[in-house]
A and B are shown apart, each in its own frame.
Chain A
């Protein structure tokens, strides 16, 4: 079982950056009829999204959030011993974007840096990884950066995905606190369903060709190339309702917690109806279920930190809170964590 327990390590600061540009799902996509757009908004809850301009990449969104976080918390760059950059929309295939950010953020060379290629489960995996490495005496402070520009991955003309994804970047400062609070993580994976969400070409299995760059039309009217992301919505829905409630229950058992012990359930923001169904199955009252997807769309691994910052920032800053976080999606990869925050610094949302 990929179960982890950490003690005396916590998130002490959180910052999120989003693009300024608001995309209105009702008006801004000419490839969807009014009826089609309303259908998606009804089924998902996603009304608006933030879309980055051509010049802004995931690493930029993470740069602005991390830079602001370190300045506002008065953390000297020299104190950062670890930087983990989680993204599936990195600047380049090579080198990793985390290392480029090491330089942009003026961190020292005595800093371990690497990228992690995960999507919707990426905050859970990244946070657990940072917590694990912080148990080492040599790692004083760590920056966990999650950044995605998934709006650039999917075709605007894809009926299943053209209105879903938004862009964002987050920075978490993670450090040893010496406090007795514990956190619990349970991480899962299933490669047998890896075809549910993918970009078919452009990697090294199916390299880019003239064919892979050609637009193709599909039965449902979608138009995309093989270098665009493709998602089987019904399959992903099936996976989510099948696996996520069980993973959450199992994590609560492992942590010896009931629903009543948890202050907020911050679930990955893909679909409001599905999240409400998960909550119902677990007996979670809706007031404990914050949402950001109506304004920001599905921002992949950033959706969890984004929702904390946009929805429950005041509550989290005011007093210690027990949060259950659950991320699930591409891979397929999923995980749940129960963490006890102790009044971390939380930035205002930065618009880039």
Chain B
């Protein structure tokens, strides 16, 4: 049964280079240890040529010109190891996490799939490069042989079953990683290669070195019988980056985010997954700073919740004043037909957490946000655009010193397109379009209108626009399935009359009304009587009511703090037209119509007018258009 081993040489350095690819072309070294005992623990060839040695102190290393030094990062190494696991899992479901820098794969049944072990090993190497890791790959008949070859030989090595002993024989005994005592003993015997160790008689070797010696000889012969210890891979996708210099501008930040997203999307792609939720957590530099155009103040040990409505993926629950009752703005709440969302028991849904807070037990500030997507995607560029838009709208309060990005895995969306599939925007493109539009008009003002479960007039909220999930009303589904994809015939619509649409005034316009008994509606007694309006005043002009329909009385929510109780009228109103006069107020009424028609001296329109029964106030709710 063949096995492959992927081994990343100089793993500590490579995990740093994976996050910071620009260092590959430079002389770089990794430092570790607690001050003042900080020493060099890894370096690349260029650094070696400049004279950097493993074990040098930080001060010694810093004296070398042109050297890039980085601190060792456990996060980088963890992410690199996770990437290695994802890489292995994209080839075989049975893998073993032998070490942080070594993964062994069970290749049973994969030879035919990939056209032979040679090609498979080469593909493993190429895929590792895509992940930002330069790996040595070897294929052997058992896990230990594959591991030994991967650690010992550069590039891609495929060991045939009959030549394993010969090929491994050229490796030094140290490659077997013997204990110090055994290494000394073998050194005294003059046994320096695996070939020499394999040639020793087993019984005598056992007498002198014990079972450990026998095990080492088996390894040297490439004849280990060890079974693979399969790993159950965790579905965790997290990438982190610690910054030596705090980032305080959006451009470099988006560059770093792009790198993290590339890594995350690559890993997700390797596991045939996508994500519908990405969490960004950034550690901010403490102190008062002016960055991203916003003055940030240190929030000393105080948690502060920032707005959650700005996120494009949140489902807004009438949190903003515009989101219910037809989106009446704050001043519209004077009309009792409208209501406060809080009073109505509707609370904003904190679906997207965005926190700009101070850790209670530390001095670091944390910026945290979750980007939720309506569909799973793994296009790093699209995701980066979404993050950019969010960060432009909600910049962090201080420079950033550490970035952690976590993706929640989700199944990839498959879509079968066809000739007769109705027109719909590409979901990923739509997400960006909505985010950009939301950035322009406010995220709370874009989405799909959803009617609220209430009889209150004009109640709706703006929800998430997701045409893929939108379903037709039950009675319409039949028609749509027939007519989808082809032009609607005129004959189909011939029997239908269009509905008269109401154009709503937000906020509702206050009005004065004279009833038919010629009394102004100013007293409460008069208001409680139902008189048809005879004249209406709004927009600065009195108009005559030519026809009226009403009152249509409705009320509700009397058990809450924000009830409504009103009479609605449909009125056909005729206004005298001021010659060539047009103001903003007039533009909302029929005057603007008449202003354009110089020959007309009267303008008519059908309006919906509401009387609040509690207060007796009149409002123009809208016009039939």
Q: Do A and B come from one complex?
A: no
